[in-house]
Structures are given as C-alpha cells and as structure tokens.
Chain A
Amino acid sequence: MSLRTYIAKRLLHAVLIAWGVMTAAFFLMRLGPNSPADKYIASLGAGHNVTAVVAAIESRYGIDKPLHEQYFNYIASLLQGDWGWSFGTSMPVMELIKTHWIYSFQLVLLSSIFAIVLGISLGMFTAVKKNSRADHIAAFFSFAGISIPHFWLGIMLILIFSVKFGWFKTYYDTSLPMLSLENLHALTLPVFTLGTGMVAGYSRYVRSAMLENMGKDFVRTARAKGLPERTVIGKHVFRNAMLPVITIIMLDMSGIVFGGAYITEVIFGIPGLGWMSLKAVFADDYSVVMAVTLIGAFVTLLFNLLADIAYIYLDPRIRYE
C-alpha cells in the first residue's frame, strides 16, 4: 500500500468516526426532556400565549419536524457550513465560536509549549541521572503532578498568588490585548494549572524512552568510537527516544488538554470554548453544545492522524498496512 492510499484510508476512517460522534451527540441531546424553547419562554414573562410561542419557535427552527428529518436537515446545513442558531445568545453558532475559540487556543498553545519544553528537559535530565537523588525527587513530584486534581491546583494558585500575595487577578481579564505582556501575565496561573499534569506525564515518558535507548547496541558503539557523552545523549539517544514521545504528546493533546482546558477555563473565567459550552449546557443551547462536541472530536481525530503521519515520516522503518 502506498503512503497516499494509507492516508486516504485513515481519512475515511476519521470521517466515519466523526459521523458517529455527530449522530450519537445529536440523538443524545434530543433524548433529553428539555426543549430549547423552554428557557426562551421562561424569559418571556407573563402575558404571552405560551403554546403559540412554543409552536412559533419550534417551527422557526424546525424542531417540530420528525426526528429523522431534523437529523438530515442538520447534516445538510452542517455540510453547507451552517452550525445552527444559538438560542441562548441569539446569534449564529459560527459567530459565537469565532469570538471564543482564540481564548482556548492561546491557553492550550502556551500550556503545550510550557509542558513540552519543561517535560522533555526534565525527562532527559532524570534519565541521565538515573537513580540519583534528583531522579527520585523528580519521580515523586511527577507522581504528585499526575495525581493533583488540576481544578484544585488552580484554586490553590489563586488562593496563594492572587488572594494572599495579590500578584494576579482572581479572574482572567478579557479586556487585555491578545498579543501583550499583560495578557501573558494574566495567563500565568491558568497555563501553570493546565501544564503541571502534562509536564509530569511527559517527563516520565521521555525518561523511560531515553532509558530504553541507552541500553541499545548503537549507543555502546557511539561511546566506543569515542564520541563525547553530549553527542551520544543529545543525538543518538534523544532522537530515537523522541519517536514514541512525539506520538504520545500528539495523542495527549486531544485528551488531557481538551478535558483539562475545559475546567481550567471555568476556574479562571476564561471565555474559551469550554466555558462557552458549559454555559450552553445550562441554557439548553443544544446547537452550541453540538458544535463544541464536534470541534472536540475533530481536534482529536486530526491529532490522531497527524501522529500517525508524523511517525511514518520520522521513522522510515515503520511499515503501514
């Protein structure tokens, strides 16, 4: 099988999964007892003919049609780039996402950079100093980092650095310009909250991958021919250890980051996609929840695909079928 066929096959698979997630989410939301019209009516107040209003809303948004018809209509509009209408905020879902995605993106991007740089350095260091005192201390801290509930970590950081010392605001300030030092400063605690667990995880992966390669024959050969230790570790061991690590990091991006970013946004009041979708859930704003679910699934599938492709490019020995 050529590489192109392989990628095409994987793409097809991804489309199938995305369709499955979409279908499951669609019917799950329609199974619920609440109609999106309910919250709207509650805000109307007295003096309205409720039955007429419900009927009008439901026919306006096509909720009165049979379920299968709604389903096909939803797919049709999705394919045309129409993500539906948000009842809660009275704007197209697409517009809503356009204003909110950047907040999630900057948080995830900065946390990933923080976690990758620190995690890889820590992993390399502990692998080289295996079984030393520093290695044991790092092992303990990475266990703690993996186990600490990040929503509690976030609250503790707020308690110590915002409430006690007053170095940061207790809430994320959205009025700051995106590309400014003030914004970076405001994101310090959220990035630390989200990144800690990732640093802990990555440093363990890197350490074990490095150790696995250190015992290999080619490393002994490199040492035997008199290469300096720097080159042996930095080039021979590190580059080979990075192969599995890159895949793991990419697969993690979707899982840990998407789950963790969600709560981190809620704690710090960052108006990203997670914060937005939680508000939408409480407002019965289903088209928004649908959209965020789909974006989450797309991101996961995209990174899975990228991980596969990266692996093939980085390691020519990999055979795909």
Chain B
Amino acid sequence: MRLAAYYWERTKRQRPAMAGLAFIIFLIILAVSGPFFTVSPTQVNFDEKNIPPPGFTLEQSIYNASSGGFVTTVQRGTWEHPLGTDGMGRDMLAMLISGARVSLLVGLLATGIAIIIGALIGITSAYFGGAMDSVLMRATDIFMTFPFLLLLILIVYLFGSSLTLIIMAIGLTGWTGTARLVRSETLSLRTREFIMASKALGASHLRIIFYHLLPNTLSSIIVLATLSIPGAILAEAALSFIGLGDPQVASWGNILNAGQGSLQTAWWVAVEPGMMLFFTVLAFNFMGEGMREAFEPGGD
C-alpha cells in the first residue's frame, strides 16, 4: 500500500494524466447515472427525427398526409434534445450515454481478460523456460501475426455479435503484448537473490509466481493495461462501425455507422459519437503515458 501511495503521489504531478483521469471519472458517473435522467436510448419516434442540437437549424421535406404533398419545414434544435436526435428520432444524449457504458465495459473487461491471460502465459513461459517457453512463445508469435481486425471480424461474424462475445473476443485476441512484456520482466527477475532464497526455503511454484514474481511486474502491467484500454474500445467501435456490433445496444460505433449514411442531412449524428470516442481514447492515453513516466524508476 505504501508503494501505491508513492506512485499515486508521483502520478498526481502529471497534469495531462490527471485531466485524463478526471474525464474518465466523469464518464463513469455519466454511464452509471445516465439511465436515471435520460429517455430510453432505443425509443424510436419518427415525428422527432433529425432534430439538430439547439442553436442549429435543418431544412427538411416532410410528407404531409392530409394535403398529400411534401412540405418543407425548418427543424430547430430544442433543449428537450440537447444533442439532437438521429434519423429515427432517438435522443442522441441518451444514445451517447449508453455508448459510454458499452465502451467502458468493453475497455475495462476486455483489457482485464487480455491482461490476465497475457500475464499468466508470460510468467509461465519465463518461469518454467525450456520446451514450455518455446511452445508458448511460438503460440504468441502466431497470434501476433494473425491480422487482428480480420480475426475479430471473423469470430464475431461466426459466433454472433452479442456484447459478451465481443468482449471475450477482444480479450482473447489481445493478450500477446502483455505476455511478451511479462515474460521479459520475469526473465530478469527469475535469477534474483530473493527468488533464489524463496526457492531454497522450499516455496512452491505457485507461491513464487503469485507472491514474488507477479507483484514485482505489477507496475508495468498496470501501465500497459491503461494503454491497452483505448485499443479495446476502438476495436469494439470498429466492429460496430462495420455493422458487426451488438444490435441490442447503442454503442458509439453503431451510431457512427448510422451517421455516415446521413452525413448530407444530419451531420451531428456522425460528429458526436466520434468526439466521445476521441476524448475517451485521449484520456486513457494521457493517463497511461503519465503513469508510465511516474512509474519509471528515478525518472523525475
């Protein structure tokens, strides 16, 4: 715990990292509290389609059933929909908050899965060495060589696009970087005196791995995890963008996909989810980079 406090002190001095952290906390609060103050993100209302955000106007031709002709109306933004509505009249704010929930869920859970798999493979590989090491590292090489996005697309297409499966798929394909890092860190730790001493005292493999090796690689794992979250978020967004996202939930990629189709009329549908995606990724990158600098020994 003392070490955690020390790292926190050093991270606190990195201003961009703190700005990133503030944005992420804001996003988490929004994602958790969103359902209590917004309308349902999937509620369709064609009477209110393509309403721009307040301050903007949009000319639309709407079919009038009683006169049998098209009437040109000027849509004005209202504060009822502070970020406008999409082509199906769904509230953009509600959809963006739902998207924040999806992105955070994917980013944290998929990275969590990837980190756990990667750390276990990396440590096993380095600690046992020999044939185990070569087999695991060749497997890592094969995974790294596989075109990542195509593999994801294939898995999600073949086994159905539910959010759970997408998270699993991103986690199960994204562990190679962690495995390599943890392996190289463990290799340099393996022959250190305290590990030798522990071995000599008769500690089991599991004890050495979980009490000595893992805690000593933790700081690099945490930095790598933070920097991997944007990749997971972007992977889900890319999948949703090409139409392989979970159709049950509004995610930033889904909205962006719909937005590309309506660029000519409703520009805000494409602009807003992308902005959210951009700032979220930027926030995690700032935080990860700041932590990397803070965690570096002696680097002030």
Contacts and interface: CB of A to CB of B under 8 A. Distances in A.
Given A28-B158, A159-B267, A159-B270, A281 B153 contact: yes
Interface in A1-33: 13, 16-18, 20-21, 24-25, 28-29, 31-33
B147 A292 contact: yes
B85 interface: no
B278 A152 contact: yes
Contacts, number: 123
Nearest to A164: B267
B294 interface: no
B278 A148 contact: yes
Nearest to A295: B147
B175 interface: no
A31 B159 CA distance: 9
B154 interface: yes
B108 interface: no
B138 interface: yes
Interface in A274-304: 277-278, 281-282, 289, 292-293, 296-297, 300-301
A143 interface: yes
Contacts of B237: 149, 151
A252 to B, nearest CB: 13
Interface stretch (B46-54, B179-187, B281-289): B281-289
B145 A159 contact: no
A170 B139 CA distance: 42
B87 to A, nearest CB: 15
Most buried by A among B16, B145, B267, B270: B145
A170 B282 CA distance: 28
B296 interface: no
Indicate the size class of the contact surface on chain B: 35 or more
A24 B289 CA distance: 35
A300 B149 CA distance: 14
A310 interface: no
Interface in A141-156: 143-144, 146-149, 151-152, 155-156
Nearest to A18: B145
Contact of B145 (A17, A163, A262, A282): A17
A191 interface: no
B203 interface: no
B32 interface: no
Contact of A152 (B145, B242, B263, B277): B277
B158 A147 contact: no
B142 A21 contact: yes
10 contacts: A18-B145, A20-B142, A20-B145, A143-B289, A147-B282, A148-B281, A155-B270, A155-B274, A263-B241, A267-B260
Interface of B: 16, 138-139, 141-142, 144-151, 153-155, 157-159, 230, 234, 237-238, 241-242, 256, 259-260, 263-264, 267, 270-271, 273-274, 277-278, 281-282, 285-286, 289
Given A147-B278, A262-B147, A263-B242, 11 more contacts: A17-B142, A25-B154, A143-B289, A147-B230, A149-B238, A152-B270, A158-B263, A159-B263, A277-B150, A289-B150, A293-B150
